[in-house]
Amino acid sequence: MTPRFNEKERCVGAETISLVARVLHRSKSHLQSILLQNNIALVDDFFEIMVDSVPDLAEYIHRTTATLLLHVNG
């Protein structure tokens, strides 16, 4: 039996983090409004470092999964 490398789970994981990122982007202004003024920079940093990197992470997950499934190097 050939291992399937959990491709379904990888794809679901990539789509899930993309969904969470979209929800967070929609909630950004609300988060900023309920935090104290001195914490707004913290929210901006969080979005810049974590949330905005989600498309790159999802692409990496899909590319890695495809490479494993197709047995392609590099």
Tell me which residue of 22, 14, 16 sits closest to 64, measured CA to CA: 14
Confidence at residue 26, expressed as pLDDT on a 0 to 100 scale = 94
H runs (alpha helix) in the chain = 7-34, 40-49, 54-70
pTM over 0.85: no
Neighbours of 15 (CB within 10 A): 13
Cα–Cα distances (Å) from 19 to 23, 30, 51, 66, 69, in that order, read 6, 18, 11, 21, 24
* Residue 1 pLDDT class (50, 70, 90 cuts): very low
Reported as a single tens digit per residue, the pLDDT across 7-64 is 788 888 889 999 999 999 999 988 888 887 778 888 888 899 989 999 999 999 888 8
Which SS3 state, helix, strand or coil, does residue 67 take?
helix
